[in-house]
């Protein structure tokens, strides 16, 4: 599916029980945030260095686009069962995102994994 992340957006977190997301940016850029082992991982995805990121079931994730332009990406979803209503309900982030880190990462000045 084709997905747009609007400009100047911080999405809620989501976790899918029966779905794997496979993401690749086709226009623009954004920061993918993944919650793993109680820490956020920040991954800069863009159309200049295209790569596919796979998010397996039960991994909380979010998207941040602090740019002035929307980001377009493809999500090649793999379903592992029927869609569940909880798959599309937002989660409350357990702690705030590090927006300074997001800014630096967007500018290519920092490694991608949060400490």
pTM: 0.88
Q: Are 114 and 39 in contact (CB under 8 A)?
A: yes
Alpha-carbon distance of 102 to 68, in angstroms, equals 15
Tell me what the mean pLDDT of segment 82-111 comes to. Answer: 82
Residue 97: what pLDDT? 96
Number of H helices, E strands in the chain: 1, 9
Tell me what the mean pLDDT of segment 95-99 comes to. Answer: 95
Looking up tokens 């979803």, which residue turns up? 77
Residue 113: what pLDDT? 43
Alpha-carbon distance of 50 to 17, in angstroms, equals 27
pLDDT band at 86 (very low <50, low <70, confident <90, very high): confident
Residue 66: what pLDDT? 94
pLDDT band at 24 (very low <50, low <70, confident <90, very high): very high
Q: Would you say residue 115 has pLDDT above 70?
A: no
């Amino acid at each position: 599916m084709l997905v747009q992340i609007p400009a100047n957006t911080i999405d809620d977190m989501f976790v899918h029980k029966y779905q794997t997301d496979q993401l690749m940016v086709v226009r623009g850029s954004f920061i993918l945030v993944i919650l793993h082992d109680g820490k956020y991982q920040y991954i800069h995805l863009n159309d200049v260095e295209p790569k596919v990121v796979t998010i397996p079931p039960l991994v909380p994730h979010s998207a941040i686009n602090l740019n002035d332009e929307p980001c377009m990406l493809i999500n090649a979803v793999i379903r592992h069962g029927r869609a569940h209503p909880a798959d599309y309900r937002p989660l409350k982030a357990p702690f705030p995102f590090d927006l300074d880190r997001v800014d630096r990462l967007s500018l290519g000045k920092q490694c991608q994994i949060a400490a």
